[in-house]
Structure 1
Amino acid sequence: MKKWLLASGFVLALSVLAACGSDEADSGETGGLYGDEKLVVGVTAGPHEQILEKVIELGKEEGLNIKPKVFTDYVMPNVALAEKDIDINIFQTEPYFNAFIEDRNLDLVKSFDTVTFPMGIYALEVKDVAELKDGAKIGLPSDPTNSGRALLLFEQAGLIELDPEKGINSTIRDIVKNNGDYEFIELDSAQIARQLEELDAAAINTNFAIEAGFVPSKDAIFIEPKDSPYVNHAAVRTADKDDEAIEKLANIYRSEEVAKFIEETFEGSVIISWD
């Protein structure tokens, strides 16, 4: 009888220990905001991912444990954040963010500004927008925010004129003057660089341009100015906007060490957008 009781007690103790171990493992996978200062940070592949790697390195010195989660599109980072698969994401401009959360009714908010990726016009056969022939096929992103941004870029480059009342909400239908009878083709943002061989030129987001091997500051035939309003920012769930771990991440991200890394790594193609 005593042996049975001892065995039962031993099994119970093992069960308790196993349960505690399971809880610890689970909390390690859920990310930060639970007191363990471990954050799961969502970024898009390319420059955002590279910058985060530097932030992770510095975070370890500050006692902040960061787990990266890399995405290859502009939809899933916000969806994953809303569904609590990640704790914060860093990849998007404010106009895109505002349109996305309104469309999907997501309880997310802006956290802090990060960097600016100037959108550029790229071509394989010409070195200047003035060399584009009449009827040239020109690609641009298909999502509304980046499409409007690209059209404004085309207007700045002298290719078109837009309805002045539309601004960043411009669509192809708002072109009031097409200076070269150009054919504008809307494509998925992530695919444009891969399809550039089939186009005469295209507006490409910097992260995808770099991923395709371009150096935007050198290879773009026309590029947004450095004071572009399309600043990228971090986003969090509204309930977590004042979390201490998020504040610590912001301070590390916006540090002199990260600024120096960005300047040296991207040769002016990624612009620091914090004071």
Structure 2
Amino acid sequence: MRIRAALLAVLLTAVGCGSGQTGGAASNPDAALKVGVSPVPHAQILRYVADNLAKDKGLKIDVVEFTDYVQPNTALVDGSLDANYFQTVPYLETFKASSNAKLEWIGPVHLEPLGVYSKKIKKLADLASGAKVGLANDPANEARGLRLLQANGLIKLKDGTEKTATVADVADNPKKLEFVTLEAAQLPRSLEDTDASVVNGNYAIDAGLKPATDALVLEKAEGNPNANGLVTRAELKDDKRIKDLLALLQSQQVKDYIAKEFNGSVLAV
């Protein structure tokens, strides 16, 4: 999501006034950790941990769901959450650069391969000249989507722009594709109006798509920097409960659960 002016104002207010003590567990080591997540697959994975593994470490977890990519970070900044689990390192770095938020990446948990989906074609080669292609409109995922299109030969980006690319950085577009940027959560619904859309794995699954079988192409897992992981505020990065939660999220039990539950559409890292 490219952060609109109104959302940016909220974000900056939160960063300016957040004390890290409102509603979170920072001041009470026995309180439940409040962890913000996207509904799928993050909430499912975290609830598995909360229901089956957390008790062994004496850990209490409150799962707080969000349907966008802005509020989990602003709520973490203002102290309403103690951690979140929904984002990648590139997305976190973009957020921090725009807000000066003191958030810390704790560790990776899983990868949701970004995919290209369509209700109108069966393979990318069938995209017609002038076809309309949907992309996420936040900087990290827009660049990620463009890299996927480049990796599959549809476009070429200007040299050196790959990490931060926008549609303005498309140097070669032989099919004259028309790019439409939307909130990431809207991209599955956009398939009614676009010829193809690049959809984040969590939103694809939430919309009933099966990335492993429904995507025309998927990101490769090898060397992919876009694992989703656990994030907290700087003052909580060494908190034992945060470390215990990461250990559980990275445990073999969770890896086995992800493999069984998501059948290749979500990959443990």
Provide TM-score, normalisation by structure 1. 0.87
User: In the alignment, which of 247, 256, 260 is matched to residue 260 of structure 1?
Assistant: 256
Partner of 1:142: 137
Q: Deviations over 1:121-148 (max 9, x none)?
A: 0001211101111111000001111100
Matched, 1:46 2:59: no
**Equivalent residue of 1:165, what SS?**
coil
Deviation at residue 269 of structure 1 after TM alignment: 1.1
**Counterpart residue type for residue 168 of structure 2:** R
Partner of 2:159: 164
How do 1:190-209 residues align onto structure 2 when only pairs under 5 Å count? 190-209=185-204
Deviation at residue 33 of structure 1 after TM alignment: 5.7
Partner of 2:125: 130
CA distance in 2, matches of 1:220, 1:178: 22
How do 1:1-275 residues align onto structure 2 when only pairs under 5 Å count? 30-31=24-25, 34-36=28-30, 38-57=32-51, 58-227=53-222, 228-273=224-269
CA distance in 2, matches of 1:107, 1:165: 28
Q: Deviations over 1:171-205 (max 9, x none)?
A: 11111111211111111101111121101000000
CA distance in 1, matches of 2:27, 2:59: 11
The answer to whether the 8 Å contact 1:33/1:39 transfers is no
Deviation at residue 111 of structure 1 after TM alignment: 1.0
**Counterpart residue type for residue 207 of structure 1:** N
Deviation at residue 62 of structure 1 after TM alignment: 2.7
Deviation at residue 231 of structure 1 after TM alignment: 1.4
CA distance in 2, matches of 1:213, 1:31: 35
**Equivalent residue of 1:192, what SS?**
helix
Deviation at residue 233 of structure 1 after TM alignment: 1.6
**Equivalent residue of 1:46, what SS?**
helix
Deviation at residue 164 of structure 1 after TM alignment: 1.9
The answer to whether the 8 Å contact 2:111/2:268 transfers is yes
Structure of greater Rg:
1
The answer to whether the 8 Å contact 2:26/2:236 transfers is no
**Equivalent residue of 2:79, what SS?**
coil
Q: How many residues align?
A: 246
The answer to whether the 8 Å contact 2:190/2:197 transfers is no
Give % identity.
Answer: 38
**Counterpart residue type for residue 35 of structure 2:** V
**Counterpart residue type for residue 111 of structure 2:** T
Task: Tell me the C-alpha RMSD between the 2 structures.
Answer: 1.3
Q: Structure 1 pair 180/199, CA: closer, same or farther in 2 (3 Å)? A: same
Return 5+ residue gaps in structure 1 as ranges: 1-26
CA distance in 2, matches of 1:241, 1:131: 48
CA distance in 2, matches of 1:173, 1:252: 42
CA distance in 2, matches of 1:208, 1:235: 20
Q: Structure 1 pair 170/75, CA: closer, same or farther in 2 (3 Å)? A: same
The answer to whether the 8 Å contact 1:117/1:205 transfers is yes
Q: Which runs of 4+ in 1 moved over 3 A?
A: 29-33
The answer to whether the 8 Å contact 2:134/2:194 transfers is yes
Deviation at residue 82 of structure 1 after TM alignment: 0.6
CA distance in 2, matches of 1:76, 1:173: 28
CA distance in 1, matches of 2:249, 2:24: 22
Q: Deviations over 1:52-91 (max 9, x none)?
A: 1111111123321111100000001010001110100001
Partner of 2:17: none
**Counterpart residue type for residue 255 of structure 2:** A
**Equivalent residue of 1:133, what SS?**
coil
Of residues 56-65 and 193-202 in structure 1, the stretch that sits farther from structure 2 once superposed is 56-65
Return 5+ residue gaps in structure 2 as ranges: 1-20
Partner of 1:24: none
